[in-house]
Amino acid sequence: KIKVPLRIKIFMWFVHKQVILTKDNLIKRRWVGSSRCCFCDHDETIQHLFLECPLAKLLWRTIHIAFNINPPVDIESLFGTWLT
């Protein structure tokens, strides 16, 4: 049994929600054509979705203010730091 701090739970919820949004976006596009971010018009990659998208940046700022968590510099640090 792993004890997960509340802020990690909130963060994981956020990640989960992003994954759902990504999937919804893909389903809407019927898995064909170039995949574009559903929040801006950039190519949708994990890197973009979590770090580069204006929405992600806004959310990180919110998380930073609310939980005093620094935004990750890259995907590796995002999952490395958070999941260990």
Determine, following the binding rule CB under 5 A, whether residue 42 of this chain makes contact with Zn ion: yes
Q: Write out the two tokens for 58.
A: 């806004």
Determine, following the binding rule CB under 5 A, whether residue 78 of this chain makes contact with Zn ion: no
Q: Write out the two tokens for 74.
A: 């890259």
Q: Write out the two tokens for 3.
A: 């004890």
Determine, following the binding rule CB under 5 A, whether residue 40 of this chain makes contact with Zn ion: yes
The alpha carbon dihedral of 81, 55, 26, 36 has a sign of negative
DSSP state of 35: -
Among 11, 14, 39, 79, binds Zn ion (CB under 5 A): 39
Determine, following the binding rule CB under 5 A, whether residue 51 of this chain makes contact with Zn ion: no
51: left (phi over 0), alpha (psi -120 to 50) or beta: alpha
Determine, following the binding rule CB under 5 A, whether residue 57 of this chain makes contact with Zn ion: no
| Site residue total, Zn ion (CB under 5 A) | 5
Stretch that binds Zn ion, among 1-9, 49-57, 58-66, 73-81 (CB under 5 A): 49-57
User: Which parts of this chain interact with Zn ion (CB under 5 A)?
Assistant: 37, 39-40, 42, 53
